[in-house]
Chains A and B, each alone.
Chain A
Amino acid sequence: ETGVTQSPTHLIKTRGQQVTLRCSSQSGHNTVSWYQQALGQGPQFIFQYYREEENGRGNFPPRFSGLQFPNYSSELNVNALELDDSALYLCASSLGGAGGRNEQFFGPGTRLTVL
């Protein structure tokens, strides 16, 4: 069974740029959730994709957007980067869409630094 993978591992961008982060879900999982984890904080939910549709969104501005592909892999796009976007971005895959009954399995994360 293949686990959740994310790329790249680290990324450095400057303010105002755009970035795309990628996630491959665990084999057999059809749901991907994205979280932002600032230093010393718990992960904050950005949004979730289930069968290629957005299936819930946290309190993040529209410049955070995403996609899910037919193979259930996913992208997180952030436009007009701000210094506060510097964080660890975690992708989690799970089985099923609604409700929290299914545990989420996390990838290693992408560390984004905005200068």
Chain B
Amino acid sequence: AQKVTQAQTEISVVEKEDVTLDCVYETRDTTYYLFWYKQPPSGELVFLIRRNSFDEQNEISGRYSWNFQKSTSSFNFTITASQVVDSAVYFCALAHGTTGNQFYFGTGTSLTVIP
């Protein structure tokens, strides 16, 4: 079974603080893909990153960084020096590597950055 767990329902931080959003996944596939999406109040999901199961290198993009650890089935997302514009709901998602077409989303983490 495919499952994504985002245990943090809501997080509040003060501007310029660092924050980490947790994502734990379950799958029996050896080939799979992990994603992070941002959903601002407007409702549109914005793609942030894709990671395949064979690439455990951490990635940094500006203030965003991602830590993928297969040993703990986790794909955590860190925002450094948070800004008010980072306030949104963040979703982690899992997709099969070779079969099936659906994305399995977690329940999301609502991040509020307080100025």
Which of A's residues lie within 8 Å of B, judged by CB? Answer: 31, 33, 35, 40-45, 48, 50, 55-56, 58, 88, 90, 92, 97-101, 103-109, 111
Chain A nearest Cβ from B67, distance in angstroms: 19
Number of interface residues of B (CB under 8 A): 30
How many pairs, one residue from A and one from B, have CB atoms within 8 Å of each other in the complex? 81
Question: In the bound complex, how far is the Cα of B102 from the Cα of A90, in angstroms?
Answer: 13
Docked-complex contact B101 and A90, CB < 8 angstroms: no
Task: Identify the stretch in B14-22, B56-64, B76-84, B92-100 within 8 Å (CB) of chain A at 4 or more residues.
Answer: B92-100
Spell out B's residues near A (CB within 8 Å). 4, 32-33, 35, 37, 42-47, 50, 52, 91, 93-108
B43–A109 CB distance below 8 A: yes
**A42: chain B residues within 8 A (beta carbon):** 4, 91, 93, 105-108
A-B pairs with beta carbons under 8 Å apart, 12 shown: A31-B101, A35-B105, A41-B107, A43-B91, A45-B103, A90-B45, A98-B99, A99-B95, A99-B96, A99-B100, A101-B33, A106-B37
Query: CB < 8 Å: which of A97, A100, A104 contacts B32?
Result: A100
**Which chain B positions have C-beta within 8 A of A45?**
102-104
The smallest C-beta distance from A112 to any residue of chain B, in angstroms, reads 12
| Complexed CA–CA distance, A90 and B46 (Å) | 12
Contact B99–A99 (Cβ < 8 Å): yes
Task: Add 15 more A-B contacts to A101-B97, A106-B45 (CB < 8 A).
Answer: A33-B101, A35-B105, A40-B107, A42-B91, A48-B102, A50-B101, A56-B102, A92-B45, A98-B99, A99-B96, A100-B33, A101-B33, A101-B50, A101-B95, A106-B37
- Minimal Cβ-Cβ distance residue in B for A58: B102
Pair B95/A100 contact, Cβ less than 8 Å:
yes
Task: For the complex, give the distance between the alpha carbons of A97 and B98 in Å.
Answer: 10
Kindly provide the distance from the CB of A47 to the nearest chain B CB, expressed in whole angstroms: 9
In chain A, what residue has the closest Cβ to B49? A103
Contacts of B42 in A (CB 8 A): 108
